[in-house]
């Protein structure tokens, strides 16, 4: 006998403002019956349902919205398109001594799409770990949102999970999800992750996002990524991390424990009091195909990158960064470990004394930095570093201030070492990492493309 299992059809729900709908009618399943209370509609929705929220409106929250089912909550613009600019959810408690973040996503199938989320606030005195000013993401996807001017500010907290002015991701090893195509700006956290804090779990994906103007009191003005696992749990791809600020470490990104940041632009960030204007890297973190320029370590070392333990830097361009101390481009001096740097340009940075581009100062019996096919100056001659095929001539950027692609006479062209990860990969600009003609990777974040280059598209 074959048993027929009934399929539960999905339901569409609709939300408008109270001025647009004076008399909401349950079950709120068309625009004429639309509800005005987003919290109640989300609470009524179940797996596979969609909640549509009309644009050209601001919705004020009185409580957090918890999404516990596999539902989509999304804006509705002209013709049904997403309209984040004109669909605003305001938590309406800036500076309050209470918590009122916008959303907690707690289902693998949950999706939040197409909103501006502002004035969210997590102060959480009772838990001593304010986390996620706008979104607390256990599971699910956040996409095409503008997350701006939100706060996770508990000045009494010392917990590592305290932070995420915009978004907090993961409190347990089972949590996972992603943030795609979002703008995350002007958020603040007292401790870690002014824009985003990744605390545990994974895999987490942050892709095609812009993080700008975020600030933090401790580490990671833009992003703090530390999933504490022995596999890659965090992947940051094709992002712009620009003009973020940290009072201490890592103005742009703090990344540790197998986090991978690739094909991204890390520019104009500031670490005020300690190390790593652009990036601070910890154990087994990987920075790949990235441009790290114009970052500042305001009082100490590592204008571009501060490294500790054993991270890897692959095919990056680190240029025009500034440190008041040593290592305007790259610094490794605080911890034992074995960083690996390959196919990377470290050039035109400013730092104290002769250590403008890089500074390495550790006991050779417990640490060493391995440079392979890199371009930097002066030649790498220290008792705590090894080097293979170092290029010490000018890499010949198109423009030393604004355009860090290579000119045709650059000594970095075809001067790298090929690796397995490059197969099918693109450079920072979106071009093939290894072209079909030369077959050898260039040093730096960009592959050189000569005039008359023929492209094949699939």
pLDDT at 174: 85
pLDDT at 458: 33
Whether cis (ω within 30° of 0) applies to the bond prior to 27 is yes
In a domain, 274, yes or no: no
In a domain, 355, yes or no: yes
pLDDT at 63: 87
pLDDT at 126: 46
Q: What is the dihedral of CA 241, 245, 246, 252, to 10 degrees?
A: 10
In a domain, 242, yes or no: no
In a domain, 454, yes or no: yes
CA distance 372 to 315: 11
Q: What is the dihedral of CA 128, 254, 237, 445, to 10 degrees?
A: 170
In a domain, 350, yes or no: yes
In a domain, 411, yes or no: yes
pLDDT per residue of the chain (458 residues) written in tens, 0 to 9: 444 444 457 999 999 998 888 889 999 999 999 999 999 999 999 999 999 999 999 999 988 999 999 999 999 999 999 999 999 999 986 555 556 899 999 999 999 999 999 999 887 654 545 689 999 999 999 999 999 999 988 655 556 678 899 999 988 888 899 999 999 999 999 889 999 999 888 899 999 999 999 999 999 999 999 876 666 789 999 999 999 999 999 999 999 888 999 999 999 999 998 889 999 998 889 999 999 999 999 988 899 999 988 899 999 999 999 999 889 999 987 667 788 999 999 999 999 877 899 988 776 666 788 999 999 998 876 667 788 999 999 999 999 989 999 999 999 999 999 999 999 999 999 999 987 777 899 999 999 987 644 433 33
Cα 188 to the chain's mean position, in Å? 15
In a domain, 152, yes or no: no
If one counts the domains in the chain, the total is 1
pLDDT at 56: 95
pLDDT at 155: 58
Report yes or no: 113 and 135 within 8 Å, Cβ to Cβ.
Answer: no
Report yes or no: 155 and 179 within 8 Å, Cβ to Cβ.
Answer: no
CA distances from 126 to 97, 156, 451 (A): 11, 10, 63
In a domain, 14, yes or no: no
Q: Which domain holds residue 353?
A: 309-458
Q: pLDDT for 208-223, tens place per residue? A: 999 999 999 999 999 9
């Amino acid at each position: 006998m074959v048993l027929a299992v009934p399929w539960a059809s999905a339901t569409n729900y609709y939300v408008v403002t109270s001025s647009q709908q004076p008399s909401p009618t349950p079950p709120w399943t068309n625009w004429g019956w639309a509800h005005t209370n987003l919290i109640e509609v989300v609470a009524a929705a179940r797996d596979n349902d969609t909640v549509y929220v009309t644009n050209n409106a601001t919705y004020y929250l009185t409580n957090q919205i918890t999404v516990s089912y596999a539902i989509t909550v999304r804006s509705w613009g002209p013709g049904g398109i997403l309209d984040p600019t004109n669909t605003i959810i305001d938590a309406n408690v800036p500076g309050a001594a209470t918590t009122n973040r916008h959303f907690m996503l707690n289902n693998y199938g949950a999706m939040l799409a197409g909103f501006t989320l502002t004035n969210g606030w997590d102060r959480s005195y009772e838990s001593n770990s304010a986390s996620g000013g706008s979104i607390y993401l256990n599971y699910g996807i956040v996409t095409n949102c503008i997350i701006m001017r939100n706060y996770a500010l508990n000045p009494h907290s010392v917990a590592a999970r305290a932070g995420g002015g915009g978004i907090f991701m993961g409190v347990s090893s089972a949590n996972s999800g992603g943030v795609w195509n979002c703008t995350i700006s002007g958020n603040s956290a007292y401790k870690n992750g002014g824009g985003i804090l990744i605390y545990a779990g994974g895999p987490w994906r942050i892709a095609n996002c812009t993080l700008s103007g975020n600030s933090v009191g401790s580490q990671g003005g833009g992003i703090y990524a530390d999933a504490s696992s022995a596999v890659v749990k965090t992947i940051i791809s094709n992002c712009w991390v620009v003009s973020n600020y940290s009072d201490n470490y890592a103005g742009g990104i703090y990344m540790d424990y197998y986090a991978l940041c690739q094909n991204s632009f890390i520019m104009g960030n500031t670490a005020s009091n300690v190390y790593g204007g652009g990036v601070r890297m910890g154990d087994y973190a990987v920075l790949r195909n990235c441009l790290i320029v114009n970052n500042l370590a305001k009082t100490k070392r590592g204008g571009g990158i501060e490294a500790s333990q054993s991270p890897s830097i692959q095919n990056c361009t680190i240029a025009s960064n500034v440190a008041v101390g040593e290592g305007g481009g790259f610094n490794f001096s605080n911890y034992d470990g074995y960083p690996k740097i390959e196919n990377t340009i470290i050039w035109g940075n400013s730092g104290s004394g002769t250590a403008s581009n890089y500074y390495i100062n550790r006991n050779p019996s417990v640490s060493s930095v391995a440079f392979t096919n890199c371009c930097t100056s002066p030649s790498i001659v220290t008792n705590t570093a090894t080097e293979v095929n170092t290029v010490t001539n000018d890499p010949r950027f198109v423009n030393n201030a604004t355009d860090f692609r290579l000119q045709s006479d650059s000594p970095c062209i075809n001067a790298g070492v090929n690796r397995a990860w490059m197969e099918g990969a693109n450079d920072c600009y979106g071009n093939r990492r290894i072209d079909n003609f030369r077959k050898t990777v260039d040093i730096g974040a960009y592959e050189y493309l000569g005039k008359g280059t023929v492209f094949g598209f699939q």
